[in-house]
Amino acid sequence: MGKVVNVVDEKGNTVSQACRGVAVGDEIINSKGQHYKVVKVDKDLATVISLGKDSKLLAWQDYFTDDRLEMAAATRKNGTVGVYHTHSAESYVPSDGSESVPFNGGIYDVGQTFVNRLEKKSGSQILYDKTPHDPHDNAAYQRSRRTAMKLLEQNPIALIDVHRDGIPDPNFYRANISDTDVSQLRLVIGRQNPNMEQI
C-alpha cells in the first residue's frame, strides 16, 4: 500500500489522506466544498490552511445530490470518453489477495465496471485501453502518456485515468446519496498540468 500521508488543518483535524506524494502548494477541495492549501509536509503528516469554500464544487454537489444524477448522465448522448490505467498493477487485498498484481491488477475490474455503467447511463462510446504500464514507478506516467495520446487522437470529450487509492480506512471514501451507499472519488489535478487553472 505504501506510505499514507495524513493531511490535517491547523487544529489537527483530518482533512484528507493520500497514498501518494503530497507537496507544499498542493490544493485540496473536500467533499464538503472546503478548499485547502498544503503549507507544510513532515514525513507522513501534511498541514493545510483553509482557503474558504469552493463555490463551483458546491454548486455541482447540490445538483448531483438531489436525485438528478441519472438525468444528467442521460442528457449527453454524443462524444467518446477515453479510459485507461497508468498503474495497471493496482489491486485489492479483499478480492485479489494482494495490493499489486503485475500487468493484471484488480483495477481492470473496476475500470470495466466503470466503463459498463458509463456506457449504459450516458450512451457515450467508451474507448477503454487496457495497455499495461508496469512497473508502478515514477516512469509509469511517461509510459501511459503514449496511451493517453493515442486516445486523444479520437478527440474524446473526457479522458479518465482510473486509479486505486490505498487508504487503509475502508470508511474514508464511503458516502450515502439518496439512500444509496456510494464510494466518493478523488480527482487529482497535478500542478505540472499546464491547464490546471482551467479545470
Tell me the pLDDT of the chain (199 aa) as tens digits.
457 888 999 999 988 888 777 889 888 887 777 889 999 999 889 999 998 887 766 665 555 555 444 444 444 456 899 999 999 999 988 899 998 999 999 999 999 999 999 888 887 899 999 999 999 887 898 899 999 999 999 999 888 999 987 777 778 878 888 888 887 777 666 565 555 555 4
- The DSSP bridge pattern shows strands 125-128 and 158-161 to be unpaired
Amino acid present at 96: D
Strands annotated E in the chain = 5-8, 14-18, 27-29, 34-42, 45-53, 80-84, 125-128, 158-161, 174-177, 180-183
Amino acid present at 185: L
Instruction: For cell 499489486, name the residue.
Output: 100
Q: Whole-prediction pTM value?
A: 0.64
Give CA–CA dist 5/27, Å, rounded: 14
CA distances from residue 144 to 23, 53, 63, 132, 148 in whole angstroms, order as listed: 23, 34, 33, 8, 6
pLDDT score at 195: 53
